[in-house]
């Protein structure tokens, strides 16, 4: 069932906020991290508030590991991960980049700890 959850779901274009969410089966056991980002979210917690009930329905406990911003250029097939979340702290962008590479296999994906 955990395999049914997509590694990454991000907006198709533009610069937007994202978070890394750790999914875990109650009582420990299997866990994995997923990336979610959307241009619709004004704040990082708006993303988590949407993801959490979806994942709880599937039987997972969720924890937000941090956030940042993604700049997604679908025309040039480039994704840049940067920035931080005031509420959740900075996600490990190197981990985010690795997760995104699983989904966007033909993209150039870079990350930095720059704020902009």
Domains of the chain, first to last: 8-111 (3.50.20.20)
Q: Residue 115: pLDDT band by 50, 70, 90 thresholds?
A: confident
**Distant-in-sequence contacts of 42-47, Cβ < 8 A, 24+ apart:** 43/17, 43/87, 44/17, 44/18, 44/19, 44/85, 44/86, 44/87, 44/88, 45/87, 45/88, 47/17, 47/18, 47/19
Convert the pLDDT of each residue in 73-93 to its tens digit.
999 999 999 999 999 999 999
Output the pTM of the full model.
0.94
Q: Residue 4: pLDDT band by 50, 70, 90 thresholds?
A: confident
Catalytic residue among 44, 46, 72, 93: 44
115 is annotated as contributing to ligand binding: no
Q: How far apart are CA 39 and CA 11, in angstroms?
A: 6
Q: Residue 29: pLDDT band by 50, 70, 90 thresholds?
A: confident
Per the annotation, the verdict on 72 as an active-site residue is no
Mean pLDDT value across the chain:
95
């Amino acid at each position: 069932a955990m395999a049914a959850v997509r590694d990454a779901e991000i907006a198709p274009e533009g610069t937007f906020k994202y978070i890394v969410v750790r999914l875990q089966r109650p009582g420990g056991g299997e866990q994995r991290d997923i990336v979610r980002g959307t241009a619709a979210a004004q704040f990082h917690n708006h993303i988590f508030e949407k993801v959490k009930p979806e994942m709880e329905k599937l039987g997972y406990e969720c924890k937000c590991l941090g956030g940042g911003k993604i700049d997604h250029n679908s025309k040039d097939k480039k994704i840049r991960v940067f920035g931080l979340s005031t509420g959740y702290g900075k996600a490990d962008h190197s981990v985010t980049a690795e997760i995104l590479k699983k989904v966007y296999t033909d993209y150039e994906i870079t990350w930095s700890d720059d704020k902009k």
